[in-house]
Amino acid sequence: MPVSKGRKKAKRRPTPPPKPDPVKAKGPSPTWYVVTMFALMGIGMLIILANYINLLPGGTSNTYLLIGLAGIAGGFGMTLNFR
């Protein structure tokens, strides 16, 4: 009886080198970035509270509310780049 040919083994490719982790490559956020992020959120919250307690000049105003919300939104926006 004739002998069958064996299957050819697939050629193995060398494993590619591991890709560097992008978070480790950039390193941690600088201290001033973290301080600015929390300061914007805190100042925005204080402006909103002072507006409702009537501590700001001109009485309660929607302008102060929008300024406070913009500060809070700016702080939360900075959290997107926080490492």
* Per-residue pLDDT tens digits for 24-67: 677 888 999 999 999 999 999 999 999 999 998 988 889 999 99
Domain that holds residue 65: 29-81
- Within a domain: 55: yes
- Within a domain: 43: yes
- Within a domain: 6: no
- Within a domain: 73: yes
- Within a domain: 1: no
pTM of the model: 0.69
Identify the residue whose tokens are 């307690």.
53
Q: What is d(CA 60, CA 53) in angstroms, rounded to the nearest whole number? A: 8
Count of domains for the chain:
1
Task: Please answer whether residues 36 and 42 qualify as being in contact, where contact means their C-beta atoms are separated by less than 8 angstroms.
Answer: no
| pLDDT tens per residue across span 62-82 | 999 999 999 999 999 999 988
- Within a domain: 10: no
